[in-house]
Amino acid sequence: MEKSITVEGLVERFSLEVLAAEDQLHQKIVKSQARRPGLELIDYFDFLPKQHIQVLSEDEIYYLHTLTEEERALRVGNVVKYEPPCIIVTDEQQGLKYLTKYCNQENIPLLRTSASNYEFTGKLNAYMINRLAPEIAIHGVCINVFGIGILLRGKSGIGKSETAHTLIGRGHRLVADDIVVIKKLSPQTILATHNGMNKEFIALRSIGLLNVVRQYGRKAFQDETRVSLDIELIEWEPDSINNDLEIESKYNEYLGVSVPHIQIQLQAGRDVAGLIEAAANNWYLKKQGYSAADEFMERLEEKSKD
């Protein structure tokens, strides 16, 4: 099912002024990127995308003011051909009677904001990308460790929530427990959040539900985080060898986005929370171009030359 938001939802979210077609605020928005008409105001091109919100800045409005009434109707008509769910005018532009009349005739909501085009379009696109992004729900826990979003997975009862609780006690932040909603924001980026019902809650066996904000304060929770690591908790395998200088990189895919994946084996007395902190720091250092294994090998090479 295609995700959508209504024009009315946009009006409420950004406190927009409705200038025309007030009875059409139920119209749905399904495209996540607003467009600023340029070519559309000059001529009509069949290959340009349809159903996008059209945002008019002071530049476009100034251009329309310079046209004759006949030319203006033609240029605004070009914009309408792309079936915008609404038209938004930024920078508190005035003198929009002709635009108001046209939008009422075509049943297209005309909205206005005092914000600048640059400021408003950035916020609008970010909001719509988040709301309209493809999403899935997975079983697991999401926690932000040192500013790095981590998915914590494993079979039921293995200790995901208990490990997350330990991390919260060390100053890190819960995002979601039990059900994690994953959203694809771009070909390289996925975002994790809660489903609303489990916001701020963590379930601990033998204890029950805890509200981490009530227990530990606002710093113990955040609404969403970009996912950078996928960590799976697994049972201890006594015959496995995991002391390589550098573990081979593995990945898991979520909505077509590859995320670095590691497994942590559980054993009584093992500091799993500490290992997760180490994994987060190690991921960050690798992103900065540093490898402890490479440095160690360089030291060995230097030693062998002595």
User: Are 123 and 158 members of one domain?
Assistant: no
The mean pLDDT value for 183-210 works out to: 93
pLDDT tens digits along 199-224: 999 999 889 999 999 999 999 999 99
In a domain, 301, yes or no: no
Show which of 78, 96, 131 is a domain's final residue: 131
Q: Do residues 69 and 18 both lie within one domain?
A: yes
> Angle CA(91)–CA(129)–CA(56) in degrees, nearest 5?
25
Calculate the CA 23 to chain-centre distance.
31
> Does one domain contain both 168 and 78?
no
Q: Which of 131, 146, 162 is the last residue of a domain?
A: 131
Whether 302 is in a domain gets the answer no
The larger pLDDT score, comparing residue 46 to residue 278, is at 278
Q: Are residues 123 and 181 in the same domain?
A: no
CA 137 to CA 254: how far, in whole Å?
A: 10
Residues forming the active site: 139, 160, 178
Q: Residue 152 falls within a domain, yes or no?
A: yes
Residue 27 in any domain: the answer is yes
Token digits of residue 83: 């079936």
Dihedral angle computed from the Cα positions of residues 191, 9, 83 and 89, in that order, rounded to the nearest 10 degrees: -100
Q: Tell whether 156 and 118 lie within a shared domain.
A: no
Confidence of residue 236 (pLDDT cuts 50, 70, 90): confident
DSSP 8-class letter at 35: B
Q: Is 35 within the bounds of a domain? A: yes
Using CA atoms, how far apart are residues 48 and 44, in angstroms rounded to an integer?
Answer: 9
Q: What are the residues whose beta carbons fall under 8 Å from the beta carbon of 76, sequence distance 6 or more?
A: 64, 98, 99, 102
Q: Please name which of 19, 134, 113 lies closest in space to residue 58, comparing C-alpha atoms.
A: 113
Query: Does position 39 have pLDDT exceeding 70, yes or no?
Result: no
Q: Torsion angle, CA of 260/266/271/274, rounded to 10 degrees?
A: 10
| Shared domain check, 222 and 161 | yes
pLDDT for 101 beyond 60? yes
In this predicted structure, the answer to whether residue 44 has a pLDDT above a threshold of 60 is no
| CATH number for position 142 | 3.40.50.300
Q: Are 121 and 36 in contact (CB under 8 A)?
A: yes
Which residue's entry shows tokens 């139920």? Answer: 26
Write out the residue range of the structural domain in which residue 22 sits. 5-131
148 and 274: one domain? yes
Task: Answer whether residue 300 is part of any domain.
Answer: no
Amino acid identity at 188: Q
Last residue of a domain, one of 97, 131, 165: 131
205 and 287, same domain (yes or no): yes
25 residue type, one letter? L
pLDDT at res. 278: 94
Report yes or no on 15 lying in a domain.
yes
d(CA 52, CA 61): 19
Do both 288 and 245 map to the same domain? yes
Closest C-alpha to 55, from 127, 130, 122: 122
Q: Which residue has the tokens 């914009």?
A: 79
Number of domains in the chain: 2
Same domain (yes/no): 148, 94:
no
Q: Say whether pLDDT at 276 is over 90.
A: yes
- C-alpha to C-alpha distances, 238 to 146, 241, 266, 300, 304, nearest whole angstrom: 31, 8, 11, 30, 34
In angstroms, rounded to a whole number, what is the distance separating the alpha carbons of residues 204 and 9?
37
Residue 305, domain member (yes or no): no
SS3 117: helix
Highest mean pLDDT: which of 50-64, 78-92, 113-127? Answer: 113-127
In angstroms, the CA 157 to CA 195 distance is 21
Computed over every residue of the chain, the mean pLDDT equals 89
Residues 147 and 238 in one domain: yes
CATH code of residue 55: 3.40.1390.20
Whether residue 286 has pLDDT greater than 80:
yes
Each residue's pLDDT tens digit, 133-170:
999 999 999 999 999 999 999 999 899 999 999 999 99
The reply to whether 108 and 216 lie within a common domain is no
